[in-house]
Structure 1
Amino acid sequence: MSRHSQNGPIYEVEGLVIDLYTPTVSVRAVDGAGFYVAPGETLAIVGESGSGKTVMTLGPLGLLPEGVAVDLRGTARADGKDILSMSPTDLSRLRGGFFGVIFQDPMSALNPMLKIGPQLAEQARRFAGLSATEARKEAVSLLARSGIPDPEDRYDRYPHELSGGMLQRAMIALALAARPRVLIADEPTTALDATVQAQILALIRQIQKEDGIAVILITHDIGAVSVLADRVAVLYAGQVAEEGSAIDVLTAPVHPYTRGLLASVPDFRSDNATGTKEIPGIPPNQAQLEPGCRFADRCELVQPQCRTHRPPLVKVGAGSVPHRVACPVVIAAEGIVTHD
């Protein structure tokens, strides 16, 4: 595990399968995937849009798309408690207090009809057990901590009166209002300019360091991963293709999909990079999945067995943080040492 491994996982998902149903189609959004994160650690879950990152992370918490039926199986534990067997009331309490979520679109969490400050204060009263006076002070403090200037004034502003960057900071303040132990950041820098993106990432890193909370970063932004992550899980078509320390995954990737992701990022691993390379093809239709490796149709190294057998995650290398890869073809071709 990471430098924080002595704490043990605080949020852990194993063998998760999530099927989403509409009146016309069923989609296997997550297929036997899992992850864990420890207190004080930042886990990045990486993959293309539609790979299942958000559904895998937020699905066990009941935060799934509206208008679809859900069949969810597997194991999910928060601080050792079985989430999937919880009553709706207990799950709602856990979701509001134990977990804080920074959503991709702040307006999906902030009520546009209410002023920002009272929304934060209500969250602090409900889940942190503060009085009305204490909750107001806490809300102003959270706005200030999140880098919002003149927090007393912003307390009485409506969401539409703030810029995109300030809205995302308010979203972070709302996520922290219940004093969570796990902070989930779902594409927190989407639609922000580069300067504001860097500020938001620095803020999340500062909060993680100061509070010692676990952070899960859901993203397709490799730059954000390199800034924040201790460990990385690479997700493809609802399955984990590779996982390990950020150093191992970003500088010594093994799975062809991980290598393709990194090759598509300009100047990421080398100052002398000459260009980028797109991954050929498109992700599989998860409503019509075939057996075998999900990446087979896009892989330049595909072998016949790749289309018939699902590759298991195998530990490679002997580092203190397990580095696991689901590609026996590369492991064999490159003579990579595996470990039980």
Structure 2
Amino acid sequence: MKVAVVGATGLVGSEMLTVLAARNFPVTELIPVASERSKGKEIEFKGKQYKVVTPDEAIALKPDVALFSAGGGTSLEYAPKFAAVGTTVIDNSSAWRMDPSKQLVVPEVNGHVLSAADKIIANPNCSTIQMVVVLKPLHEQYTIKRVVVSTYQSVTGTGVKAVKQLTDERAGIEGEKAYPYQIDLNVIPQIDVFQENGYTKEEMKMIKETNKIMGDDSIRVTATTVRIPVIGGHSESVNIEFTNDFDIDDVRALLVKQPGVVVVDDPAHLKYPMPKDAHGKDEVFVGRIRRDESQPKTLNLWVVADNLRKGAATNAVQIAETLLEKGLL
């Protein structure tokens, strides 16, 4: 299969190549795509070297599938052009997520919605993905009324520049800044720009995307998203109010059975999910499973995942795998 990776030289694009190789996706020809300034650069994939091409050159090659991670502007401009030549686009930017004509997909949650008509498919926000994988079986069993989520998000979610800011600050080196403030030994309660309602764009993504992916606008969601000086994954404190009551052992059993979830919940032995353990993994890790004692029918969870893997690259590749399984690629 002819596979294009648009944004192949970036953090998520590089991770997409790693995931394609690790999951043995049937790539017969790789087309690494980046901007004009990266044209001709060589990318290694499974022991072979491939030259980076521009988006227009890639379109002419008519790939079967194109994994996009090159920003919203690039996606808006080029995704329709790829789709026009028959390529199925899986886009990691926010450009198409809330477009009512586009599917927003986490395969373990709503992979069933995919059809032959879907030529541009949106990959959700990293922090939304890991949360809805956990919410899915709980909503089916107990019916979720409300979710309160606070996130603790890795600098890798911002990109290479942010990782360098953190490492520079830790080493006492003056350098280029991705954030308006120091990130080392600090937390920044702002991810993306502020909206008129006082929420950030990241917070509103989590609210709106959760409803769309879960296929249920009755679920009320409120979010506070925070950047922390960590590399390896995003963590979330999730408080869930249900219509129906639950048994904690039954909740654990449901989560153990949920595809893509690993339960790490043994407080007696200090076992719980952490970003350093999620780093480089494709699963979503959940722990600190306990009843909220301040009100009935309410649960607390701690959810951790590698934002470059399940939060971006892995989910995109899993969408492609789902399309293959359905005979749509």
| Bigger Cα Rg | 1
TM-score calculated relative to the size of structure 2 = 0.26
TM-score calculated relative to the size of structure 1 = 0.26
